C-alpha cells in the first residue's frame, strides 16, 4: 500500500509538471501572438543583460588566465631544459661550475613558486568568483518560468471575472432550455447552483493567482537585490586579480633578474680565465683600419702547409737580468700571474747580410722589420686593412703597434714592391693570412 501511495504521489507530480509545462507553453504562444499581455520589468531585464555580460567577461578571463598559466608551465620546462643543457656542456674543470648548478636549481624553484602562487592567488580566486554564477543563472531562469505562471494565473482569473458578468446576466434573464423547461420553483435552485459553481472556480483561480504572484515576487525581490550587487562587485574583483598577477610577475622577474645576473657573472669569469689560458697573440692591424674580431684566415687554395713563426711558451719565470730570445710580447693585466708568452723569430739573410733586430734601424727597410715572407697563393683582400697578394709577392713582416689586437694566424707587413716605391708605412702596410705565405731567407 505504501508503494502504491508513493507511486501515486510520483505520478501526480509528473502529471502536475506536465500540465504546468503545457500551460506555460500555451501562455508563451498567446503572448507572442499578442493575444495575451506579458508582465515587463525593464530594470530587471537590464540587470539580466549586465549579468550575462559579467558572466561572459569572467569566463573569458578565466580561460585567458589558464592559458597564461599553461604558458608559464611551458616556459618553466623550456628554462629547465636550457639549464640542463648548460650543466651538461659546463665541463668539470671549468671554474664556476658549482655556482652555475646552484643558480639552475634556484631558477627551477623560482619558476615552480611563481606558478603555484598564480594558481593560489589568481586562478582559485577566479574559480570561486565564477562559482556563484550558475546558481544565479538557474534562479533567473526559474523566475522567468514563475513569471509565466503568474501571467497565466492572472489571465485565467481575469477570464473568470469576465464570465461572472455574463452569468449574472443569464441569471437575470434565463435563456437555456433547461431553465425554460424547469418549473418556476426549480429555476431558483438552478440559478443558485450556477452561481455557486462560478464562485468556486473564481475562488480557486484567485487562490492560484495569489500563490503564483507570491512565489514570483519572492524570487524577483531577491534577484533585484543580488544582481546589481554582483554587477558592482566586478570592479573590485578585477582590480584584486590583476594586482595579484602584476605583483607576482614583478617579484618573479626581480628574482629572476638577480639569478641571470649571477649566471652572467659566472660566465664572464669563465671567459676571462679561459681567455688568459689560450696563449693567443693579438695585435692591432692598422691605425686607419678597424680592429678585427675573431678573424680566421682561409686555408690556402691547395691546402698546402705554410710557414708560421715558431711560438714557444716558457712556463718558468726568467730572471730580470736575462734577456729572452727574441721579442717578448706584453701581457694584459689578467695574464700577470700566468706563464710568459715568448715569440722566437729568426733573422733572414738578404744580400748576404743578416736582417732582424739590427735591421730595424736600416733606412732601406721599414721600422721594426722582422723577416720576409713570400706569397705561395693569391689572396683577395676582404677588408680595407688587408693586403692584396699575388703568388710570388714578397712581404716585409713588421710588428703590430698593439700586440693585444693581433688575431691568431694573421701577420702585419708591407709588400716589398710598395715599400721600395713609396717608403710610406702608413699607406702601404696591412694584415694578411700567414698560411698563404712562406718564410724566405
Q: Mean pLDDT across the stretch 130-146?
A: 90
Per residue in 19-55, pLDDT tens?
666 776 766 666 666 666 667 788 889 999 999 999 9
Please report the pLDDT score of residue 391 as a whole number: 92
pLDDT given at position 360: 43
- The Cβ of residue 282 has, within 10 Å, a number of other Cβ atoms equal to 17
Q: What's the CATH number of domain 19-274, 3.40.228.10, 1.10.3720.10, 1.20.1270.60, 3.40.50.1100?
A: 1.20.1270.60
- Nearest Cα neighbor of 283 from 425, 421, 402 is 402
Considering only 179-193, 213-227, 231-245, 364-378, which range has the smallest mean pLDDT?
A: 179-193
Q: How is domain 281-318+338-441 classified at the architecture level of CATH?
A: Roll (2.30)
Domain segments of the chain: what residues?
A: 19-274, 281-318+338-441
More confident residue, 263 or 185: 263
- What is residue 441's predicted lDDT score, i.e. its pLDDT? 63
Of 340 and 155, the structure prediction assigns the larger pLDDT to 155
Q: What are phi and psi of 92, to 5 degrees?
A: -60, -30
Percentage of the chain beyond pLDDT 70 is 63
pTM comes to: 0.48
Lowest-confidence segment of 9-13, 105-109, 392-396, 399-403 by average pLDDT: 9-13
* pLDDT tens digits for range 369-411: 999 999 999 999 888 889 999 999 999 999 998 888 788 889 9
pLDDT of 6: 52
Rounded to an integer, what distance in angstroms lies between the CA atom of residue 411 and that of residue 404? 13
Amino acid at each position: 500500500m505504501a508503494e502504491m501511495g508513493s507511486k501515486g504521489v510520483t505520478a501526480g507530480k509528473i502529471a502536475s509538471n506536465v500540465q504546468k509545462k503545457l500551460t506555460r507553453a500555451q501562455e508563451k504562444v498567446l503572448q507572442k501572438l499578442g493575444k495575451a499581455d506579458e508582465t515587463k520589468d525593464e530594470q530587471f531585464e537590464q540587470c539580466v543583460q549586465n549579468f550575462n555580460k559579467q558572466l561572459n567577461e569572467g569566463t573569458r578571463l578565466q580561460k585567458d588566465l589558464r592559458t597564461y598559466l599553461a604558458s608559464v608551465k611551458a616556459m618553466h620546462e623550456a628554462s629547465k631544459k636550457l639549464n640542463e643543457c648548460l650543466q651538461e656542456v659546463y665541463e668539470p674543470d671549468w671554474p664556476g661550475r658549482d655556482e652555475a648548478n646552484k643558480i639552475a636549481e634556484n631558477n627551477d624553484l623560482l619558476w615552480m613558486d611563481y606558478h603555484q602562487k598564480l594558481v593560489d592567488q589568481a586562478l582559485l580566486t577566479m574559480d570561486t568568483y565564477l562559482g556563484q554564477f550558475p546558481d544565479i543563472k538557474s534562479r533567473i531562469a526559474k523566475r522567468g518560468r514563475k513569471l509565466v505562471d503568474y501571467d497565466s494565473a492572472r489571465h485565467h482569473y481575469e477570464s473568470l471575472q469576465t464570465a461572472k458578468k455574463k452569468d449574472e446576466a443569464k441569471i437575470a434573464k434565463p435563456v437555456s432550455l433547461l431553465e425554460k423547461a424547469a418549473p418556476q420553483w426549480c429555476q431558483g435552485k438552478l440559478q443558485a447552483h450556477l452561481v455557486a459553481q462560478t464562485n468556486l472556480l473564481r475562488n480557486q483561480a484567485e487562490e492560484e493567482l495569489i500563490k503564483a504572484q507570491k512565489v514570483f515576487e519572492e524570487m524577483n525581490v531577491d534577484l533585484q537585490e543580488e544582481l546589481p550587487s554582483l554587477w558592482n562587485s566586478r570592479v573590485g574583483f578585477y582590480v584584486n586579480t590583476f594586482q595579484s598577477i602584476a605583483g607576482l610577475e614583478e617579484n618573479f622577474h626581480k628574482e629572476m633578474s638577480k639569478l641571470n645576473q649571477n649566471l652572467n657573472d659566472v660566465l664572464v669569469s669563465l671567459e676571462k680565465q679561459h681567455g688568459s689560458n689560450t696563449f693567443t697573440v693579438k695585435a692591432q692591424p692598422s691605425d686607419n683600419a678597424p680592429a678585427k674580431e675573431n678573424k680566421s684566415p682561409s686555408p690556402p687554395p691547395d691546402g698546402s702547409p705554410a710557414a708560421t713563426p715558431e711560438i714557444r711558451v716558457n712556463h718558468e719565470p726568467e730572471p730580470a737580468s736575462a734577456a729572452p730570445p727574441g721579442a717578448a710580447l706584453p701581457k694584459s693585466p689578467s695574464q700577470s700571474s700566468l706563464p710568459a708568452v715568448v715569440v722566437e723569430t729568426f733573422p733572414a739573410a738578404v744580400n748576404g747580410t743578416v736582417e732582424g733586430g739590427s735591421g730595424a734601424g736600416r733606412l732601406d727597410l721599414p721600422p721594426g722589420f722582422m723577416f720576409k715572407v713570400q706569397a705561395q697563393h693569391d689572396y683577395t683582400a676582404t677588408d680595407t686593412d688587408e693586403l692584396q697578394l699575388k703568388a710570388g709577392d714578397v712581404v716585409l713582416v713588421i710588428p703590430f703597434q698593439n700586440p693585444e689586437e693581433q688575431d691568431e694566424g694573421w701577420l702585419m707587413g708591407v709588400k716589398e714592391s710598395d715599400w721600395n716605391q713609396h717608403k710610406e708605412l702608413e699607406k702601404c702596410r696591412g694584415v694578411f693570412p700567414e698560411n698563404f705565405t712562406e718564410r724566405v731567407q
